[in-house]
Amino acid sequence: MAIPKLFEPLTIRGVTMKNRVCVAPMHQYASDHGFATDWHLMNVGRFAAGGAGLTFVESTKCDRRGCGTVGDLALWDDKFIPGVKKLADFIKSHDSVAAIQIGHSGRKAKRFRPWEGGAPLTENPGVDQAYWDSWELVAPSAEPASPTDPTPRALTNQEVKDLVEMWGQSARRANECGFDVFEIHGAHGYMIHQFLSPMANLRNDEYGGSEENRMRFCSEIVESVRAHWPDDKPLFLRLSCEDRAGWDLDASVRLSKQVKALGVDVIDCSGGGMQGSPTEFAPSYGYQVPYSDKIRREADIMTMAVGLIVHAEQAEEILQKGQADIIALAREILYNPNWPMDAARKLGFEGHLETVPSQQAYWLGRRDATATEVVPSTYGRG
């Protein structure tokens, strides 16, 4: 039988993914003053060992001020490199490509964790006072994320340029950590998206006003990252391709064309976040796949589809139809970290046991050989 498209390798620049399954970036809110903890290692470890071709480390911050919560992971200083490098090393030791997303929350920074309610933090929740004091809410403009949120301070023109360089420095550090894919987080109502949005960006310098000006911050970050990120390593950009708040899919196509020329290889097609949560507005299967489809065709760039991609056949169909090049999973791979093995088996790919380490593959192979009436729990009882 032909190899399912989901399990065909994919080479971008000098990096080859063994399959098209990606573990999407997922905040853990589990750092200690920005430093990676055992939780991070366990978390990326279970996904990399679960067989994904590409495993992302969560949105890691390029600036202290950009932390969404007290537990955000940091790469704004060289002192964070050893802890984050351990994550890349472990992912790679399981034959998964190690990827990191770098972000900045802008006006959505400084909040309680989602399961603590997500409201703005007004008092030090117990970190070092200096760490707390360095956490200033900044944004393109002095516009709060919602009428009940605190008002950020508008960045000066020089501070915007400094931030562009901070992104570049985080790319240098990510390379020193050993990551092979770097993603710029331009989505979900965070800093880059705030610059893109006519609702959040009311600046009157070269970073605000016209669409061209609002795209400038993002494009300069791409250039800065490319200056510090090796030519043979892929660069991804995550966009909220449609935010229902003034930024739409056609603008995303125009931006995709622009950044492609500057060295972005893949657009990671997400949505929302300018008003409310990005994951709660569209509860149907593959709700963001149309974004990926259009950007791939019209901007002639590789894309990653994400958002309620749950089943193996669903993922395979998206690839077969040419709607995306990579399939990213977040909540479903939380449910089943061995999703790649499960999907391979369901798609009839004989190499399904090769997706997991020998410590597991051996015993699962023995079970298949000896208990031939038995099917895995994800099939329902045979």
Contact string (CB under 6 A) for ligand FMN, positions 174-193, x = contact: -----------x-xx-----
CA-based R_g, the chain, Å: 20
In whole angstroms, give the CA distance from residue 191 to residue 164.
11
Q: Is 340 in the site for ligand FMN (CB under 6 A)?
A: no
Residues 68-127 that bind ligand FMN (CB under 6 A): 101
Length of the chain, please?
382
CB of residue 287 to ligand FMN, shortest distance in Å: 8
| 66 contacts 191 by C-beta, under 8 angstroms | yes
Please choose, out of 35-43, 151-159, 206-214, 307-315, the segment that lies near ligand FMN by the rule CB under 6 A.
307-315
Q: Is 25 in the site for ligand FMN (CB under 6 A)?
A: yes
Burial 219-246 (b: 16+ CB within 10 A, else e): bbbbebbbebbeeebbbbbbbbbbbebe
Shorter beta-carbon distance to ligand FMN: residue 4 or 68: 68
CB of residue 189 to ligand FMN, shortest distance in Å: 11
| 33 contacts 83 by C-beta, under 8 angstroms | no
Please choose, out of 155-163, 218-226, 328-336, 369-377, the segment that lies near ligand FMN by the rule CB under 6 A.
328-336
Helix (H) or strand (E) run with residue 69 in it:
none
Could you say which of 79, 244, 321, 331 contacts ligand FMN (CB under 6 A)? 331
Using the 8-state DSSP alphabet, how is residue 162 labeled? H
In whole angstroms, give the CA distance from residue 70 to residue 32.
8
Token pair for 284: 């149907």
Contact string (CB under 6 A) for ligand FMN, positions 237-256, x = contact: -x------------------
Shorter beta-carbon distance to ligand FMN: residue 193 or 203: 193
Pairing of the two strands 15-17 and 10-12: antiparallel
Token pair for 268: 């990671």
CB of residue 236 to ligand FMN, shortest distance in Å: 11
Reply yes or no on whether 285 is catalytic: no
Shorter beta-carbon distance to ligand FMN: residue 269 or 301: 269
In whole angstroms, give the CA distance from residue 340 to residue 12.
20
Q: Is 27 in the site for ligand FMN (CB under 6 A)?
A: yes
Shorter beta-carbon distance to ligand FMN: residue 7 or 339: 339
Comparing CA positions, the residue from 260, 193, 266 lying closest to residue 223 is: 260
Q: Is 302 in the site for ligand FMN (CB under 6 A)?
A: no
Output phi, psi for 54, to 5 deg.
-140, 125
Could you say which of 6, 21, 24, 255 contacts ligand FMN (CB under 6 A)? 24
DSSP string for 96-136: -EEEEEEE--GGG-SB--GGGT-PBP-S--SS-HHHHHT--
- Out of 190, 207, 285, 379, which one is annotated catalytic? 190
Active-site annotation, residues? 190
- The residues binding ligand FMN (CB under 6 A) are 24-27, 58-59, 101, 185, 187-188, 238, 270, 279, 306-309, 329-332
